[in-house]
Amino acid sequence: MNKWNLIVDVARCNGCFNCFVACKDEHVGNDFPGYAAAQPLHGHRWIDIRTVERGQTPMVDVTFLPTMCNHCDDAPCVRAGTGAVTKREDGIVLIDPVKARGRREIADACPYGAVVWNEEKRLAQKCTFCAHLLDAGWKEPRCAQVCATGAIRAVKLEDGQMQRLAESESLEVLHPQYGTRPRVYYRNLHRTNTCFVGATIVSRASGASECVRGAKVTLSRDDRPVAETETDGFGEFKIDRLAPGSGGYSLEIAAEGHERALKRFDLASSTYLGTIELAPDAR
């Protein structure tokens, strides 16, 4: 049967927190029997927006990463709940607000930290995918409804269809090594878990420093090319999707009318190499 999935494009998220506010608006002070007890005003983030910064001035990449319950197909909270947490046929995982009372092990079981303990109610709580609204005929949960940039979208598909969509859109899940089979997918997740290298290429061929547009940049590791790009109108380039702490690299920069430049560096995290000056070709 068709099951609910959430797709988050971190490249589109601008950190407006509309989704966070909508979740609070829906659940704070509102009990939905069979679905969830009221969310407390403070301390709970059933949807959280994390900020990831990469690089150094003036080349800085800031990414916002919405996180929530992954409604996993092999959910540790379901196992820990022993009947107090259920996986619905449509893919949504719900914590019974009555049966789960006093069961802190349900919150402790989530490896993503998405299940939060409500000390006042003695209850584990989390995102419900707004199941009470979907069951009433809504087409999407509140977080997707209010997302102004289209960064969050809900889709209800058969598992095979979802897998094909994930492959066609290069979707990933958080921490696949946990083996929980999440139903929340991400686009452009590399902006949160990989590194980039960038620089500004200038020339003094005319006696003054000028940006070099269209310079060919080749990144190599162990003398084998791993990526190529060209500088833009500001003389800048960025090569992304590199593994953090991946060690030694070399950059070769080639531009018409200039001598080739070679720069070697170690990559620990996203790095701006500064300004690299090309010398005029003496030939």
Backbone angles phi, psi at 132, to 5 degrees: -65, -30
What domain range is 251 assigned to?
A: 195-278
Q: 197 versus 222: which is more confidently predicted? A: 197
Q: What is the pLDDT of residue 216?
A: 98
Find, among 278, 244, 249, 254, the residue nearest to 264 by Cα. 249
Does residue 240 fall inside a structural domain?
yes
Residue 135 tokens read as 């069951």
- Asked if residue 248 and residue 203 are part of one domain, the reply reads yes
Q: What is the pLDDT of residue 206?
A: 64
- Asked if residue 246 and residue 152 are part of one domain, the reply reads no
- Asked if residue 81 and residue 22 are part of one domain, the reply reads yes
* C-alpha to C-alpha distances, 225 to 217, 220, 222, 249, nearest whole angstrom: 10, 4, 8, 10
Give the tens place of pLDDT for each residue, 203-214.
976 666 799 999
The pLDDT-based confidence of 280 (bands split at 50, 70, 90) is confident
Does residue 283 fall inside a structural domain?
no
Does residue 175 fall inside a structural domain?
yes
**Number of structural domains in the chain:** 2
Last residue of a domain, one of 160, 192, 224: 192
CATH number of the domain encompassing residue 42: 3.30.70.20
| Mean pLDDT, the chain, whole residue set | 96
Last residue of a domain, one of 132, 163, 192: 192
User: Average pLDDT in the 41-68 region?
Assistant: 96
* C-alpha to C-alpha distances, 8 to 54, 166, 178, nearest whole angstrom: 20, 12, 19
Phi-psi region of 113 (alpha: psi -120 to 50; beta: other; left: phi over 0): left
- Asked if residue 158 and residue 147 are part of one domain, the reply reads yes
User: Average pLDDT in the 240-253 region?
Assistant: 96
- Asked if residue 224 and residue 95 are part of one domain, the reply reads no
User: Average pLDDT in the 12-23 region?
Assistant: 97
Q: What is the pLDDT of residue 281?
A: 83
Cβ neighbour number for residue 82 with a 10 Å cutoff: 11
Last residue of a domain, one of 192, 210, 242: 192
Report CA torsion sign: 144, 156, 128, 188.
Answer: negative
Does residue 8 fall inside a structural domain?
yes
- Asked if residue 153 and residue 86 are part of one domain, the reply reads yes
